[in-house]
Amino acid sequence: MDQTLNLEPRRVFDFFQAMCAIPHGSGNTRAVSDYCAGVAREHGLWYRQDELGNLLIRRPADPGCEDREPVILQAHLDMVWIQHPEAAGQGIRLVRDGDLLRAESSTLGADDGIGVAYVLALLTQKEGPFPPLEGLLTVDEETSMEGAERFDCSLLQGRRLINLDSEEEGILLAGAAGGVQLDVQADLEVRRPGLQQPVMVQLTLSGMEGGHSGMDIQKGRGNAIREMAGLLADLQTQVRPTLCVWSGGSFPNAIAAQSQCTLALEETALEQLDRLVRQAQEHLQSRFDRPAISMTWSQLPLSPEGEGLTQAALSRLLELVRQVPDGVQQVDPLVPGMVAVSTNLGVLSLDGGTCRLEFALRSNLPGEKEKLTEQVRALAEREGFSLRAHGAYPEWTFRADSPLREAACRVYRQLTDRSMEVTTIHAGTECSIFADRLPGLDCISLGPDTWDVHSTQERVSISSVGRVWTFLSALLRELGSSADSHP
């Protein structure tokens, strides 16, 4: 352990530093899982490691707390491993800048190494009396959540779970979105344009802001695919172009920031096209107040073989893109200001008549993503498209009544004289999987102040790690003592 960094609380940072010495990027967690199993063995604690490397460690109740409900403490073992190429092979080298801890030339792995360190420290320390504890350490949260997904939840005795994968001190996460991806496709009717004086034109829309389809969906950033569809609809009524190729967006769960398409039209229509493109550009600028947005056209060398959509097929496609629900659909009735249901048309591709649209749906409320799927299906089928839903994951619905959340808020107020902010997130977390598998689960998520995770700028506040440690110890003592803490 490098003691020159002077990291307190020692118990937490000793485990964190030990983990930093073991490579543990997603997909490479066997060694770190073995290390944690070794900690359990050393302290005489019962543990079980599954074939993926998920680890469950039990700490019996302290004297006087034997009749208390167990508490599950959960964190993920893997980290997003990014390193500057010139530092290859060097592992995590910790750097302290005042209150901040970061890594030289790589991700730090505070997400979620600090969470794992809390779990190990709480399982092995003597600051109780604590109720029975179950430490659950999962693999591959950052890539597929396969660890949580495939963990045998029947091993868990507790129905109260504290997840330690959040990034802002004083904020308690109490709900998360479920989701599903939709692929909508059709083979649309194509023909040769049959123009008198054909020209080929490329339209390009770029510079929109984009973002995460869950966390940024309420920010009104606009969807480049739908903006392009608006221009194409105007063009269709005024110059009747033949749409040959169209693409937009990059991932279903990212807001589309760019789109481009190739059109065939009469040379005599170019002037009108130019006018409509300029209008679209001005309109976008005034709506989004973003100088980077650019809608432009350019002439391409003529390719006489090019086929494109018939006007009827183009109408059907534009109708679908413009009518399908996109963006925020519902806000949360229980959590002010939080998005509860949304869709995102993230990817569109059209080439040779084969057309595919990819959507990410999210919902924090039970049953809503299924309803929305059927709504999109009805629209798609009306325009001759078929829909396939896949990759569904469950929601973690906010509980109006949560004794665990109330205990956490009470302890936080006692310690800091401030109210803890309770919120939900419009994105998936491992808690959603556990909330789905363990009926009646009472669950919260929290963590210390961490910034720019998943990048080499990642850093954590050392003093915040200490305050959250004090809070966690106090919360567990509260859960070990108060008789009303049963779920």
**Which of residues 62, 165, 358, 449 is near Zn ion by CB under 5 A?**
165
326 binds Zn ion (CB under 5 A): no
> Applying CB under 5 A, which part among 49-57, 163-171, 325-333, 437-445 lies near Zn ion?
163-171
Q: How far is the CB of 141 from Zn ion (least distance, A)?
A: 6
- Tokens 């937490």 belong to 12
3 state SS of 404: helix
Closest Cα partner for 407 from 444, 449, 456? 444
Could you tell me the maximum CA-CA distance found in the chain, to the nearest angstrom?
Answer: 91
Q: How far is the CB of 167 from Zn ion (least distance, A)?
A: 8
78 binds Zn ion (CB under 5 A): no
Q: How far is the CB of 139 from Zn ion (least distance, A)?
A: 12
Smaller CB distance to Zn ion: residue 156 or 173?
A: 173
Q: How far is the CB of 136 from Zn ion (least distance, A)?
A: 14
Q: How far is the CB of 75 from Zn ion (least distance, A)?
A: 8
For residue 189, the one-letter residue type is E
**Which of residues 62, 69, 78, 112 is near Zn ion by CB under 5 A?**
112
Beta pairing partners, 173: 423, 445
Using CA atoms, how far apart are residues 283 and 309, in angstroms rounded to an integer?
27
Smaller CB distance to Zn ion: residue 111 or 442?
A: 111
Smaller CB distance to Zn ion: residue 111 or 449?
A: 111
Q: How far is the CB of 165 from Zn ion (least distance, A)?
A: 4
69 binds Zn ion (CB under 5 A): no
Using CA atoms, how far apart are residues 361 and 101, in angstroms rounded to an integer?
36
449 binds Zn ion (CB under 5 A): no
Q: How far is the CB of 268 from Zn ion (least distance, A)?
A: 58
Smaller CB distance to Zn ion: residue 12 or 295?
A: 12
458 binds Zn ion (CB under 5 A): no
Using CA atoms, how far apart are residues 33 and 56, in angstroms rounded to an integer?
10
The two tokens of residue 75 are 């964190």
Smaller CB distance to Zn ion: residue 329 or 450?
A: 450
Smaller CB distance to Zn ion: residue 151 or 246?
A: 151
Smaller CB distance to Zn ion: residue 143 or 414?
A: 143
Q: How far is the CB of 176 from Zn ion (least distance, A)?
A: 13
62 binds Zn ion (CB under 5 A): no
Using CA atoms, how far apart are residues 12 and 322, in angstroms rounded to an integer?
52
Using CA atoms, how far apart are residues 268 and 277, in angstroms rounded to an integer?
16
- For 262, how many CA atoms within 13 A lie in the half-sphere containing its CB? 18
430 binds Zn ion (CB under 5 A): no
Smaller CB distance to Zn ion: residue 148 or 475?
A: 148
> Applying CB under 5 A, which part among 162-170, 293-301, 340-348, 389-397 lies near Zn ion?
162-170
**Which of residues 69, 111, 169, 358 is near Zn ion by CB under 5 A?**
111
Closest Cα partner for 118 from 484, 486, 394, 476? 476
Q: What does the H/E/C string look like for 459-482?
A: EEEHHHHHHHHHHHHHHHHHHHHC
Q: How far is the CB of 179 from Zn ion (least distance, A)?
A: 17
Residue 321 CA to its chain's centroid (Å):
24
Smaller CB distance to Zn ion: residue 112 or 368?
A: 112
140 binds Zn ion (CB under 5 A): no
464-470, Cβ contacts within 8 angstroms, sequence gap of 24 or more: 464/169, 465/9, 465/12, 465/13, 465/114, 466/8, 466/9, 466/12, 467/169, 468/118, 468/169, 469/9, 469/12, 469/118, 469/121, 470/415
Q: Using CB under 5 A as the criterion, which residues of the chain lie in contact with Zn ion when the complex forms?
A: 111-112, 165
